[in-house]
Amino acid sequence: MIQAEHLCKNFASVTALADISFSVSEGELFGFIGPDGAGKTTLFRLLATLMRPDSGAATLSGYDVVKDYKQLRLITGYMPGRFSLYHDLTVEENLRFHAAVFGATVEENYELIKDIYSHIEPFKKRLAGRLSGGMKQKLALSCALIHAPTVLLLDEPTTGVDAVSRMEFWQMLKNLQSHGITILVSTPYMDEAGLCDRVALLQDGQILSIDSPARIVARFDKKLWAVQSDDKHMLIERLRSYRPIESVFAFGDSVHITTVNDELDETELVHFLTAQTEEIHITTIKPNIEDCFLRLMRKN
Amino acid sequence: MKCFCESQGVRKKQIVDSIQTFGAKTLHRLLAFIHKEFLHIIRDPRTLVILFGIPAAQILIFGYVISMDIREVQIAVVDLSRDTISRQLIHKFDASNYFRVSHMLNSVNEVEKILKSGSVKEVLVFESGFGTRFMREGEAMMGLIVDTSEPNTGRLVASYSEALIADFNRELAMAGRLKIVPAVRMLYNPALQNEYMFVPGLMTLILMLICALMTSITITREKEFGSMEVLLVSPLRPMQIILGKVAPYLLLAFGDVLLILAMANFVFGLPVKGSLMLLLLESVLYIGLALSLGILISTVSKTMQQAMFISLIGLMLPSILLSGFIFPLENMPLFYQIISLILPPRWFIIIVKNIMLKGTGFRFVWKETLVLIVMTAIFISISAKKFKIRLE
């Protein structure tokens, strides 16, 4: 469905994308995970025919993103990173405008967007600029879908959206998949990676790893411990100075650590730490996808 | 054979159908776009103020404040002579549009009082025996006492009066024996020029402002708010985006032309002397030119501020200064005269003046029209080429 080969893109002296290759099969929900500045937006703009790669090529549905941009613009739905609808138009006017521009009508594709649009339909007379973040995002997705595209390109759709709306949004994407739509989504939130069929970890314009979330987790080759204490900040400081330790990452209310030789003398560590803090809990845990990404990014 | 014909007929029908649906869809897209633009304009009252408030205000300001003209100024007369000549001259003052004789005074002593009361601006004084002396000696003195507490008006009143008297002198000389008439140039009767010259200039300026500024801002606004990204990935062609952006402003600017012409006619009594149809057509051409200039500006500017800056400084100032609107082109150094050749307003002003004030036909403005057409073609082709189908 989507093929990208050796995509490169530079802006002046900055390399946004350095040799990106991947493929996405039809109906897949494919995620690009990476921190800000990893090149996600540039990659999505290339695929949306908004930019030309310096070298390399990409095709969607067999259409080249440079040569066949006219055909591609008919079959792709693109949702840019920031809210790009008209603030001074109502919800309904925005939707109808997008439908008309793509030569579709709201009525003929209503089934496809019903799931999403029904949330904001009660506010259809409201100006889009007065919607909340979550509602704006639903409207933007409705607009991107209104011409029944075969490929959806969603650039950081959940950035700046509350946690509940984020979960709702991912549920909607899962439902869209059942309509056979291929979905590419980028996000800086690693916890969303587990919701994709496959994910690519992007850093500094390069793909570090592509696989299903389960297999990425399975490839984690280290033992992992979670350490908990009251003063997390001090805990991290002290852990970093503990010699056998290889990596220290803060996760919610605990700190995940790995050691150089995969062994940990818990009593010795507790002894090392108690000089600073009162209560220490150490448990062995299974890695989650974030542990894997952080490890991959650290290796890089 | 029959079968072949039929299938060919069906094929033809299919092609016609697909062309029709394609055309209908294209038109539908364009209409949706224009509808959206109108919504933007209606939702932002500032746009409407700029579109119609500014032109109306400008016309009134120019018409009433800057206009260097007097009209129906009240004057008083002290006629101690009471003869034909003095009565004729008084009548001439009264009959002109500039003065109205409102008070007849009996004595010179009343002059100061009436001027101080402010009810008249000027007093004409004819001493006794004015007429007889004029007939006998061919020359007589009369007094013009002018209230110059408002220096500009006072000066105007004095010079208009002098001009009226000079005109009167000339009439007498023509009617009577052949007498050498002093070659006084009639600087008088600049009324038409002073009062109405601003309408063509203002029209030229306002259309340039609204069309170029508004289109360049509305296009860059889409860039700034990121909605251009969505428009670009849509199947809209650059031409459709441009047309959709421009069409509402073409319509509104045409409304402005009608507004200006109506105000000139009903407020200032300045009708279009020549063909109104021709003037409207020329206006549409000029609006198109200004719009294409606005598109060109939008293709080179990234932000609304940039577009506004280029439109105002790069376009408005030269239009005001070098178009012949305020400063006569003939008096400028050659360098500026050459620069003015590439400014569209310079040509449009000539067209409007010709049609509106002189009442001349197309025969006298075809060269200027041709210049405008060529300029429009150049601007459109440059902006169509520069309009990007991608973000970079």
pLDDT for residue B127 is more than 70: yes
| Whole-number pLDDT of residue B19 | 55
Q: Which residues of B touch A102 (CB under 8 A)?
A: 234-235
Domain ranges in chain A are 2-216, 220-299
- Reported as a pLDDT band with limits 50, 70 and 90, residue B21 is low
Please tell me the predicted confidence (pLDDT) of residue B259.
93
The mean-pLDDT minimum among B38-47, B58-67, B218-227 falls in: B58-67
Q: Are B65 and B111 in contact (CB under 8 A)?
A: no
Q: What is the pLDDT of residue A277?
A: 55
Where does CATH 3.40.1710.10 sit in chain B?
Answer: 70-193
Amino acid A19 reads: D
Residue of B nearest to A53 (CA): B392
For domain B70-193, the CATH class is alpha beta
Residue B24, pLDDT above cutoff 80: no
Query: Per-residue pLDDT for chain A (300 aa), expressed as one digit of tens each?
Result: 899 999 999 988 888 999 999 999 999 999 999 888 889 999 999 999 999 999 999 999 999 999 999 899 999 999 998 888 899 999 999 999 999 998 888 999 998 899 899 989 999 999 999 998 889 999 999 999 999 999 999 999 988 888 888 999 999 999 999 999 999 999 988 888 889 999 999 988 999 889 999 998 888 888 889 888 877 888 888 888 888 888 888 887 888 988 888 888 888 888 887 765 567 888 888 888 888 888 888 877
Interchain proximity A73–B28, CB inside 8 Å: no
In the prediction, which pLDDT does A81 show? Answer: 85
B31, B43, B227: residue with CB nearest A84 = B227
Q: Give B390's contacts in chain A (Cβ within 8 Å).
A: 49-52
CB contact under 8 A, B226 and A82: yes
> In the predicted model, what is the mean pLDDT of chain B?
81
The whole-angstrom distance between A34's CA and the closest CA on chain B is 22
Take residue B356 and report the two structure tokens written for it: 């509106």
Mutate to test the interface with B, among A11, A88, A101 (most CBs of B within 10 A): A101
The whole-angstrom distance between B392's CA and the closest CA on chain A is 6
pLDDT of residue B181: 34
Which of B33, B229, B241, B391 best probes binding to A when mutated, by most A CB atoms within 10 angstroms?
B229
- CATH class entry, domain A220-299: alpha beta
The whole-number pLDDT of residue B193 equals 45
Which chain B residue's Cα is nearest to A101?
A: B29
Question: A89 to chain B: which residues are within 8 Å by CB?
Answer: 36, 39-40, 43
- pLDDT value of residue B251: 92
The CATH code for residues A2-216 is: 3.40.50.300
Q: Please report residues of A whose CB lies closer than 8 A to that of B18.
A: none
- Which residues in A lie closer than 8 A to residue B391 (C-beta atoms)? 45, 50-51
pLDDT tens digits, B25-42: 788 888 999 999 999 998
Instruction: Please provide residue A82's backbone torsions phi and psi, each rounded to the nearest 5 degrees.
Output: -105, 160
Q: Which residue of B has its CA nearest to A79?
A: B230
Does residue B386 register a pLDDT over 90? no
Query: pLDDT-based confidence at B192, cuts 50/70/90?
Result: very low
CB contact under 8 A, B227 and A86: yes
